[in-house]
Structure 1
Amino acid sequence: MADIRYSVPEESKTKYLIGILSKDLNLDVKGLRSRRARLDYQGEARYCGVDLDSGHMVVSERIDREALCGPTTPCILHFEFILENPLELHNVILEVQDVNDNTPVFPKDSIKLEISETAMINSKFQIARARDLDVGGNSVQNYFLNQNPHFDIDARLSKDRYVDIVLKSNLDREKKAEHSLLLTAVDGGNPPRSGSVVIQILVLDVNDNAPVFSQSQYRAQLFENAARGTSVIKVSAIDEDEGENGQLTYYINHLSESTKNLFQIDDKNGELLVTGKLDHELASSYELEIQAEDGGGQTGHCKVMIEILDVNDNAPVITVQSFMNPIPEDIAVGSEVGIVNVKDQDSGENSKLSCSIPNNLPFKLQPSIKNYFTLIVTASLDREQIAEYNISITASDGGTPSLFSTSSLNIKVADINDNFPVFEEQSYSAHVAENNKPGTSIISVAARDPDWRQNGTVVYSLVAGEINGAPVNSFLTVNSDTGVIHAVKSFDYEKFRNFKVQVVARDNGSPPLSSNVTVSVLVSDENDNSPQILYPAPEGKSLMTEMVPKAALSGSLLSKVIAVDADSGQNAWLSYQILKSTDPGLFSIGLHSGEIRAQRDVAESDSMKQTLVISVKDNGQPPLSATCSVHLLISDNLAEVPELKDMTYEENNSKLTFYLIIALVSVSTFFLTFIILILAVRFCHRRKPRLLFDGAVAIPSAYLPPNYAEVEGAGTLRSSYNYDTYLTTGSRTSDFKFITSYNDATLSAAGTLKKSPDDSNMINLSDAGETLEILYPAPEGKSLMTEMVPKAALSGALLSKVIAVDADSGQNAWLSYQILKSTDPGLFSIGLHSGEIRAQRDVAESDSMKQTLVISVKDNGQPPLSATCSVYLLISDNLAEVPELKDMTYEENNSKLTFYLIIALVSVSTFFLTFIILILAVRFCHRRKPRLLFDGAVAIPSAYLPPNYAEVEGAGTLRSSYNYDTYLTTGSRTSDFKFITSYNDATLTAAGTLKKVQDETLAASLITLNNTGEGDEVRIA
């Protein structure tokens, strides 16, 4: 606490600079406003103020020193300069300096003096001095009397507020009974002010005694609660004159406006009475000047000092000087939130104060300095529990009886952002049907925040992220105010069935608080995808023709339509139906399997070419469908239908292949022609007699054994049978498969013919039972199936899919997929059961453009069967980047065909030349041998060359051998034995089985061909 003193001239203008408080008190100007700096006027008028921006103390109202202090000098005003946080108190003493703003004024406009003519020279006569409200040098300094022969004034100023007029010469009433003087009072201001009074002097006969009081000063004490009419004191004066000159009159001189209504004196007896309400707090003492005047005009004076005694008549006054309202709920315990000032205008014990608040509040009042109390927080606050406090402050004084007063203080607790938004549910699930309209509302989330106003205002947003490589906000948007989530675009169930997003609820506090919730969006399927037919190929791509054997029986599986639907559930349940057929009663299709079977046995009268229009329909609402055409060819060999051609192959055949075929045909034709000519010449030579034999010479006939085909080095066949097995263009599998069912003794397409190790020499037929088939991609050798992979493909992106089926059922049809070989082993992965090929990592610029994957598809049977395929991937965004990409399959097929044609041409040509050379050599040798002359008695039989027979049942012979070429037809799903030429009842049918039987008539085992289609057995010895 420091005292500082300033001075200011009265009547200064507003904003007049009194002093620089911040500088004189060493305070930071910037902190004045934050510390709530102010002046406490302590009941005084607000004459001054503090500019918090500059720290200057300035005049705020007109200051009239005379009104404030009257004649008291110096005129002091006391202020208290208060600062908070921390609390500081400084006493400011302001001295109001007088300015010459008042003119001297005499009590009366004219003064009458009666002077005895017997007055002695140098006699003095007191004149009430002029009153000048100014003080110091601005008060009355000099008096001037107009020039006259009898009177002058004493140059010294009287301390008793009078001016002495001095008689300079004797008065002679007879010469002049009345004198008029002009007395002028001049103050010391600059410029000086003056006031005058006219003195009328009457020259009287002798009255030479003035009244004299018994005491020059009287003292009295009076309680402030004294009633009106109470006698304060009684003064008395004596005048030794007699008569009128001795009769005294009392009155009070120079009463101010504030005191003339408080006291009154009886003019006859000099008793001083209370006439107004006294207040110790306003004035604790009064000084009155009592004058006694006799009949002759002479006066006497005395002073009465009245002390006003205090009584406990004022209750304490509570003033809240400053308090923080509202206060933050996180305010620290022990913080100051308010300053309370308690005043009692009484004094002594009556002014001793105490102040208190209820104990059940988290606050307390702590005494500070000089009747100041600080309101302090004593416990943690929580606005969510109590938002405001009404504090009753009680102040009491030390009087008897004690007086008290109360004041209510309302403090509001300001909210801080101390609560996180809480969602009503831990997680949300939204169900939305695919193909929804953009902007559709799918779900609403809600979070609650118990904080107030902006701290409790929740704003919703989506957490940034990606769904299938696209930003979340491209799928969903959330209303920031309501929490309603809308779909930005239409969803596709086939692309993604569900995804999760994070919704953030964030309040508007500073700093903001937030919480997240997971929203699972479940996309339900709609029937928006038509069935997709995988086999046969759609119209316009390639001619897919199935070969149907003429011996096909009712119920035989001829082909199968394979379709898929990208939808799920009942939307993907497919049913198959024949819409149109060349012969409506010949074929049927499985309602749910798509298997095309013969509805009856194939007849000779049936048309060779059959076309079926198949409808594949799903089970959605409304159902969607797709159609395809299946072309069936009823024939056992391709020679019967020469007009059937592989259009694609003809278009792709190169000129080189064409020339090679012409060359091969030409050489073959020439060779056959040459053989025919040779045979014709030899036939003509045989008919001529060549030799003369002697009967006594015995020449045995030449024996040429038959050409046996040995099996496992055991039994022999009398004739050889050559089976040329090959695949036609477009075949899906490379195995022999039978149209009709087979038994344990049937040789399957994948079976092997071998000799049993036991003594029975039975031939075992081993069946691999392979039924696994890869539908997509196409098997090797068909066409180049290349998938385009975008360079921007991210980890997990779906790139392709391997599709395979297994004709088995149960666990034997459970398929698993595996990558056997890859150009870049770490770049791709395949779903174990789905076959989906996905990027295992992001595609990089350094990755090879061409990628090849070798995929293995394995079933779950015992033992498991498997198939492999190759998937070609091209990492590029457009085909223009790889102009060197060609149809690898076509070039490979073309090169293979050309290679085989060249081998055939070279073989035929070599054989032809060798044959010519042998013929020429034989003929050359024959010419060099001498001819023999035989005796006619000698019998020389001709050489016997038996033909090469193919024996059937060990009986009749065939005059020529038959070669059976077994192949797969274009687009065939099965690999059945089919014969180029027609056959009779003794011929092994396509569905026949080869087995061994025991014949008692034969020493060796026989191999039997069982024709299940005809019911006959053909035995080959």
Structure 2
Amino acid sequence: MIPHLRAINIRLICGGFVLFAMWSSAWAVTRYSIPEEMKEGSVVANLAADLGIGVGSLAEREVKLDILHSKKYLDVNKDTGELYIVEKIDREYICSMKYYSCLLKMDVTLENPIRIFNFEVEILDINDHAPHFRKETMHLDISESTAVGERFSLNNAVDPDYGSNSIKTYYLSESDNFVLDIQTGSDGSKYANLVLKKALDREEEAVHNLILTAVDGGVPARSGTASIIVRVLDVNDNAPQFEQHVYSVNVSENSPIGTPVLKLNASDLDEGPNADIVYSFTLYTSEKIQDMFSLNANTGEIKVKSVIDYEEIKTLEMHIQAHDKGTMIQLSGQCTVMVFVTDVNDNHPSITITSLKNTVKENVPVGTVIAHIAIRDRDSGNNGVIDINIDEQFPFALNKSSDNEFALIISDPLDREKVSEYDITFIVTDRGIPPLSDNETITLELLDINDNAPQFPKSFCTIPVLENNAPGSLLSSLSAFDPDLHENQYLVYFIIEKEIVNTSMSMLFSINPENGDLYALKTFDYEREKEFLFHIEARDSGVPPLSSNVTVHIIIMDQNDNTPVIVSPWRSHGSVVEEVIPRSIDKGHLVAKVIAIDGDSVHNSRISYQFLQVTDATLFSLDQYNGEIRTMRMFSYRDARHQRMVVMAKDNGDPALSATVTIKISTVEQAIKPYSDTMEVPLEYDIFSDLNLYLVIGLGSVSFLLLITILVTIVLKCQKPKPIKAAPPCRNSVISQRNSTIGDSTLISSDAYWYSLFLAETRKGKVVVRQPVPKAGYIISSIPRSTGLTETSDSAASTLQASTTTSSSST
């Protein structure tokens, strides 16, 4: 309050009254409690109401609040009198020390007249800090001789928060040797000590890695961790140990000076000087033995120091001691070394090979002798006893013929294709100590014989070929493999002849005799031939030659290479068909029916129909599947008398092929008898038109040609009585195979080939259209209206079946 009093103008008349008001207001202190880090703009309280100040006078009296730490944390809203947060308040920044309470003491000054109000804001702590250690890693060196219960101080964690938000306890990761002891200081701080609960053993675990976790009491709780690395210091509590208590070693007589005899290896589980080992002879080792052998004090290596004579001494016994370099005490271990002097085996065995065959045929009989072997050794006793061995996996064996005499024979059949050459190594070893050995290697080459037939990768090969292929095109490469050598491996390829309808396979296909490349000699037509089945043989050049064959299945694949042909309605002149219908016909009346056929197969021959042009699209409809053109309504007086439509027949190929027909419809007022009635009416004179005349002439020509063909066939049969296989049932005999009356516009198919019989209606009669063989042309016969198909005789059917492409074209 003193700075404010100094600011008062003493010359004011009401100075004394103001001083008294300020002094009296200092005793009325208002306190608020808020949590730290409240959002900016948060309202603490209505300060005007709490201090009894009118809200309307705040703006006029210029309310001012203190600035703390160069920051203005709070301010008063002059319109509402509310005390609100201007800047985020951090309790740990304002109250750096952990006071029980953190208070902001502030003065509110009002001008005109001057009044000073005191209020306090208590900043409540929140758990916004996690405990942390000043050192993330603590290192402790503890001797393995430390007594159980020893305590070690640890660095404590710190938490800027206060009260329950401060550090509550510590946790230690799981350990068999250590536990945690937590102490509480006078100010409530928690301290942790590490206590040894089990004796340490450096040889068992040299380093202990522990995790110390500090947890505060906030909700939710926060934690921090530090790593404790305990390094166990070694003490000399382990004596050196030898790998064996007794060592046995053989030393040859006359061994050169400096020859290593044995290297001792003692180990000590301690470290540092406690593990450094020194080797020495004990007092139990005679001076004579110490003169014959030297012992390296640092490495433990024993070497020959002087000449050793087997006849003078055969067994020696040395006692060796190993002690460490411990500073307080030294520990030691002992072992015994037994040295056995052995006689010298100074002659190597020898091998002599005679009657050697370096090459044999692979079909040589089992038991054939390849070579004779003699072995010798000038030593005596076990040093002169010799053992001879060869690789047991080889198809050879050694037969003993006499002492140190052997014959090398073939024990199993040989196969050059598996192994073409053998390197046979004879190993001879005497039974001396140490044994001496020698070896000799011979090479045996196997000569090839023609014992393997060529082999194709597969016994059956399917080759798809697209029709209309270019003559001479490569179809496939059929190569065989022969593991033999030279002329036994040279292969020649042939096509095994097989006639198909008096046609040789060599006229259809060609194969390269050297590499097996298969070529097509002609262009294939799917509508004429769909597949071929024959054999290709691969023959080697051996004596005698061997061969094998593969079955080849050529499949001809269809292309859309035939354009649909419109066979109904019949077009005698040009491509325009004229039809006359009465104007009084009803809706749905059959005006005409378009029928087209396609020489292709499967989906390429599926035909759909559609209008390209039509005079009145509302008058006629076209069925896209059967080609029927019907009326969609009755004729009216507004409809033209002449109607024109262009119908397209399109197949299902890719790309699609099509044909078109133009139909002109003329309407008349008088009624015309339907086609069904014309079957019972005798033919009038006008029916016998030019078309019928041409058909009669064509049928006569066909009959004449058929007669000539039958006569020529009879003559050829008589001259060439070669037996011919029974032909398959004729696919063209559709009428004889189907014992049923064929209705109007009937399409009959048999097997994979299409044989079609159509009864197409025309204005002057009915036409039978038949497709006997794909791409063989079409035969069109005219049938009078008074004649039905049910009356067609067998001879007529036979005539239709025997018709050829020539007669079709003449028609």
TM norm structure 1: 0.31
TM norm structure 2: 0.38
Larger Rg: 1
